Amino acid sequence: MRIIILGRVAPICGAMCLVAAVAACDEAEESVRAPPPVVASDAAVAGVAWLDLTDETRPEVWLASREAGRAMTPDDPAAADYLVLLQDAASRFNETPRMIANRTVQLEAMLGERGIDEDTRRILTGFLAVATKDAARRDYGSMCHHYFNLRSTGVDRPAALAALGSGVPAPP
């Protein structure tokens, strides 16, 4: 008699366990899903410190807005200028325009903390001037780090850029 009952109960218990496991997976999946993307309002875009992957703000608009200190639109000439710079940079470096924009803003802030005043446009145009189009794509993050180290030790802008262009460290 026991064997017959267990034979009938076991499949029911197994099915219930399977349903409970699936339900638990659904709940766990819900808890690890990323929140919906947060898009900076037009008024706040100029003050954003970093463009997250889920941020829908275009990097050229963000850089132009930061530079102007107010929200810009994609059709603004300053945003169009940044778009050209970022596309050129993306063809020379191994990172996306969004990451290039983020790293450039980060470098600007790091230099500013050391009393070195260089804005994103100046940094980006300087790097583009020394990264030739015909060379192998370079690592933008490493270039930013190297530039920061050079400038932090007192190397002036032209010498630091020359060092980046040649791959040879600048003299102290």
Q: State whether 64 and 137 are in the same domain.
A: yes
Question: Domains in the chain: how many in total?
Answer: 2
Q: Judge whether residue 84 has pLDDT over 80.
A: yes
CB atoms within 10 A of CB 169: 13
Q: State whether 107 and 141 are in the same domain.
A: yes
Residues 6+ apart with CB under 8 A from 143: 93, 127, 131, 164
| Global pTM exceeds 0.85 | no
Distance of alpha carbon 160 from alpha carbon 107, whole angstroms: 14
Could you give the C-alpha distances from 143 to 30, 58, 100, 164, in angstroms and in order?
40, 23, 11, 7
Distance of alpha carbon 60 from alpha carbon 71, whole angstroms: 12
Q: State whether 130 and 83 are in the same domain.
A: yes
Per-position DSSP letters for 130-161, written without gaps between them: HS-TTSPPB-HHHHHHHHHHHHHTT--HHHHH
- Kindly state the average pLDDT of the residues 16-25: 45
Q: What is the pLDDT of residues 34-62, one digit of tens each?
A: 333 333 444 466 667 888 888 889 999 99
Distance of alpha carbon 8 from alpha carbon 41, whole angstroms: 61
- Give pLDDT, residue 97: 96
Q: Which domain covers residue 29, as residue numbers? A: 1-33
Q: State whether 52 and 106 are in the same domain.
A: yes
Q: State whether 75 and 102 are in the same domain.
A: yes
Q: Judge whether residue 114 has pLDDT over 50.
A: yes
Q: What is the pLDDT of residues 133-170, one digit of tens each?
A: 766 678 999 999 999 999 999 999 999 999 998 765 55
